[in-house]
Amino acid sequence: MAHAQTLVAELAKGPTRAYEGVKRLFYGATNTSLAEQMEFETEWLTDMAETADVQEGIAAFLAKRPPQFNGR
């Protein structure tokens, strides 16, 4: 249980909006064609590129520091 709580705490610090999108794309892939899936992924990546979490991830990478994601 302690390990699970530690894992949950670490995941909560991450880019939760991105986690949600990846999970949705992953599960949707079983019911769509490759062309449809690629379209969904392209749309999702375009939407995600405008989020504060992506900007924070890029800034943290360039500054060589841990990111501080906020789910936006």
Q: Which domain holds residue 11?
A: 2-63
Does residue 70 sit within a domain?
Answer: no
**Percent above pLDDT 90 for the chain:** 72
Number of domains in the chain: 1
On the CB side of 23, CA atoms within 13 Å amount to 6
Q: Which one-letter DSSP state was computed for residue 29?
A: G
CATH number assigned to the domain comprising residue 48: 1.10.12
DSSP string, 41-72: HHHHHHHHTTSHHHHHHHHHHHHTS-------
Each residue's pLDDT tens digit, 8-20: 998 888 898 899 9
**pLDDT higher than 90, residue 72:** no
Cα distance from N-terminal residue to C-terminal residue, the chain: 29
| Mean predicted confidence (pLDDT) in 22-40 | 93
